[in-house]
Amino acid sequence: MRQSRFVSRFFLLCFSLCVCAHLSYGAFADIKSFQADFIQTVSAPDTGTITYQGHLIALSPHSVRWTYTTPSPKTIYITDHTAIIYEPRLSQATITRLDQKTDFLSILQKAILQTDGRYRSQVGETTYYLTLKDDKPYLLEFQDSFDNTTKIRFLHPIINAPINASEFVFTPPDGIDIISQ
């Protein structure tokens, strides 16, 4: 399950880059920043459902930070070609290079509004659906290649509030393990 969670999160990270790109290029061209609390549920066929909660901030064009507060603290930083997953309870940070940034940008530029009112985007084998409420992102849904279904509900979304670029810089605490993948 740990590997499938990582893959699921990796696809979420990829989509996060797409959302930021979409803030610059697509129907939401006027949005330069986004922040919200979130509730994320991941349902797996064999292990049931896990619920995560936290806070998301995004700054156009390519910066995202997911801060998970429950059930286990974790922060995911995404900037340009790099994703960093910091897990304080494990005293480790995993750094992953995202080689396909350009592909993600072109995919999201082609995202289309569906007849059901959701926006649809394809990243690799995974299809993502974004639902708006009051013209703001409300629900992100996708199913990964392991048949895990992820739903992320955005609460109290704030659009275009100032966000300092330093919010997306990971400064490793002393004594943690750094794993490069």
pLDDT digits (tens, 9 = 90+) for 63-122: 889 999 999 999 999 887 889 999 999 999 999 987 655 333 334 446 689 999 998 887
Instruction: Confirm whether 74 is domain-assigned.
Output: yes
Instruction: Confirm whether 20 is domain-assigned.
Output: no
pLDDT band at 29 (very low <50, low <70, confident <90, very high): low
* 84: containing domain: 33-171+176-180
Residue 60's pLDDT is what? Answer: 80
Instruction: Confirm whether 60 is domain-assigned.
Output: yes
Domain count, the chain: 1
On the question of pLDDT at 125 being above 90, the answer is no
How many Å apart are CA 175 and CA 119, to the nearest integer?
Answer: 43
Residue 17's pLDDT is what? Answer: 44
Q: Yes or no: say if 130 and 140 are a contact pair by the CB < 8 Å rule.
A: yes
Instruction: Confirm whether 140 is domain-assigned.
Output: yes
DSSP track, 74-113: EEEEEETTEEEEEEGGGTEEEEEE-TTHHHHHHHHHT-EE
Instruction: Confirm whether 13 is domain-assigned.
Output: no
Residue 104's pLDDT is what? Answer: 38
Instruction: Confirm whether 11 is domain-assigned.
Output: no
The whole-model pTM stands at 0.79
Beta strands in the chain (DSSP E): 33-44, 48-59, 63-70, 74-79, 82-87, 92-97, 112-113, 119-123, 126-133, 136-143, 149-159, 177-180
Instruction: Confirm whether 107 is domain-assigned.
Output: yes
Residue 6's pLDDT is what? Answer: 47
pLDDT band at 50 (very low <50, low <70, confident <90, very high): very high
Average pLDDT in the 35-55 region?
Answer: 95
Instruction: Confirm whether 25 is domain-assigned.
Output: no
Assign residue 90 the CATH number of its domain: 2.50.20.10
